[in-house]
């Protein structure tokens, strides 16, 4: 079974600075998808960024980018120019490409942004 590990329960960053959230995963599959989700206090999960494992190029969405290291099974999220609205729980998730519809989530990292 696949597992996702987020080793940083909490992180903090100064406004306008850059922060990196770590995620590692374990799988025997070669084709899969990885995601970062943001969960604000409203509890509604919001997709931040998505990466297909067969793509070597790291995904980027505005201030959010990933460092995908397939051999190391690592998938970190970099937030540049941090804003107060970035404060939230961030979850890393894995999804198989072989037909299973379920997402496997890590336990999350709580990000605090200091003004």
CB of 17 to other proteins, least distance (A): 26
CB of 115 to other proteins, least distance (A): 26
Query: Segment near other proteins (CB under 8 A), from 11-19, 43-51, 54-62, 71-79?
Result: 43-51
By CB under 8 A, tell whether 16 contacts other proteins: no
Q: Of 21, 104, 111, 113, which lies in the binding site for other proteins, with binding defined by CB under 8 A?
A: 104
Euclidean distance between CA atoms 4 and 48, whole angstroms: 17
Q: Report the interface residues with other proteins, using CB under 8 A.
A: 4, 6, 33, 42-47, 50, 52, 91, 93, 95, 97, 100-108
């Amino acid at each position: 079974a696949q597992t996702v590990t987020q080793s940083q329960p909490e992180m903090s960053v100064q406004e306008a600075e850059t922060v990196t959230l770590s995620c590692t995963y374990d799988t025997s599959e070669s084709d899969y998808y990885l995601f970062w989700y943001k969960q604000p206090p409203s509890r509604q999960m919001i997709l931040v960024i998505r990466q297909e494992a067969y793509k070597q190029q790291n995904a980027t969405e505005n201030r959010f980018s990933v460092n995908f290291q397939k051999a190391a099974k690592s998938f970190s999220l970099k937030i540049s120019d941090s804003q107060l609205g970035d404060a939230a729980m961030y979850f890393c998730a894995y999804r198989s490409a072989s037909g299973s519809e379920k997402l496997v989530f890590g336990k999350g990292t709580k990000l605090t942004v200091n003004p």
